[in-house]
Amino acid sequence: MKDKLIGAASRVLVREGLAGWSVDLVAAEAGCAKGLVHYHHGSKKALLAAVAARLNHERQSRRLEALSGTGAAALDRLWSCLEEEVRKGQWAAWAALVAEPAIEAPAGAAGELAAIGAAVARALELPGLKPEDTRLAVSALDGFQVALARGAPRDAVVEGYHRLWLALLS
């Protein structure tokens, strides 16, 4: 039931945004009593922290899956993944939680960061990436999503995306 409630809370967050999110809506989405939400998660803040952790894990998993393989095809899949997250509202939901001071934002686990770095290095056919290059790439991916979500011209954002990979290759 705990996982079902996290899933319901995630769907409500994507659909309604943080301002429209409520425990009542989560309970309705999960098909249970409001009391069960509090019983399993203790508080709204704890449930939102669990949602933030899940959304972060899911986005890292999607990025790793997109980066399977090598070359331009892997980078094209990653770009599609970034665009889809913005289009579906998944990125906005995650960003709202990360920006909310009352919610403990999920820390990027060192293992997840290393996995992304290894996947990028493999896609670019490099022997490896320095940790600072990995952090730069991950931060840039988030920045591209910010630009897309704010309505920046897609072509300009795509160009920046390609320039990132060219910079890492040089």
Domain boundaries, the chain: 2-169
CA atoms within 13 A on the CB side of 161: 24
Superfamily of domain 2-169: Tetracycline Repressor, domain 2 (1.10.357.10)
Predicted pLDDT of residue 113 = 84
- What is the C-alpha to C-alpha distance for residues 128 and 119, in angstroms, rounded to an integer? 9
Helix extents (H) in 31-129: 34-41, 44-66, 71-88, 90-99, 110-123
Among candidates 80, 83, 86, 78, which has minimal Cα distance to 60?
78
Give dist(CA 74, CA 9) in Å, integer.
Answer: 31
**Residue 78 confidence (pLDDT):** 97
What is the pLDDT, as a whole number, of residue 112? 82
pLDDT at residue 106, as a whole number? 66
**Reported pTM:** 0.88
DSSP class of 32: S
87-128 pLDDT, tens digit each: 999 999 999 998 888 887 666 566 788 899 999 999 999 998
pLDDT beneath 70, residues of the chain: 105-110
Instruction: Give the helix, strand, coil percentages of the chain, each rounded to 5.
Output: 80, 0, 20
